[in-house]
Amino acid sequence: MNFKYMYQKVVDLKSNEKTQAEWMLSAAIGELQAEQRTLEQLMEDKARANEAMLSEGGSSMLRLQELQRYVEHLDRCIKKKLEDIESAEINVEHKKSQLSSRLLDEKVWLKAKEKAKTAFEQQILLREQNELDEMATVRFAMKAR
């Protein structure tokens, strides 16, 4: 006799929800890393523009003003990117929280399944023991005659 858990579909659903939460966390982490790489690129661009301004000390005022406007633009982009990173970090924390909740749900259902299986196995053992006891009683009664 095989064990069939009556709530197996719920266990499967909880497992799928956990897997989905893992994927969503992975995607959120990927977005955060992409935002961080973009920030690094902006910082490098700003450093290069600052170097260009310093190295072109004898250049025309127009070129220096152009570089200065570019640096200011990069500063605005960096500020925006820092906000994007903060938002992405909040999203990652939210996805971690969801994953934690899904893990807990799955664990509860798996524990319930394990308890049901243990109870089923105990019931089988008890039934087998009763059958063996009954056979022993019948044999003893037959020998006693």
Of the candidates 80, 78, 49, the one whose C-alpha atom is nearest the C-alpha of residue 66 is: 49
This prediction's pTM: 0.77
Does pLDDT of 145 surpass 80? no
Architecture per CATH, domain 8-108, reads as: Orthogonal Bundle (1.10)
Does pLDDT of 110 surpass 90? yes
Residue 1: pLDDT band (50, 70, 90) is confident
d(CA 118, CA 13): 22
Cβ pair 50, 70 in contact under 8 A: no
Percentage of the chain exceeding pLDDT 90: 81
Please calculate the CA angle 101-10-5 and round it to the nearest 5 degrees.
125
d(CA 118, CA 100): 27
* Crossing angle of helices 61-144 and 8-55, rounded to 10°: 160
Question: Cβ neighbours of residue 15 under 8 Å, at least 6 residues apart?
Answer: 106
Tens digits of residue pLDDT in 58-101: 668 888 889 899 999 999 999 999 999 999 999 999 999 999 99
Tens digits of residue pLDDT in 111-128: 999 999 999 999 999 999
Would you kindly state where each structural domain of the chain is located, as residue ranges?
Answer: 8-108
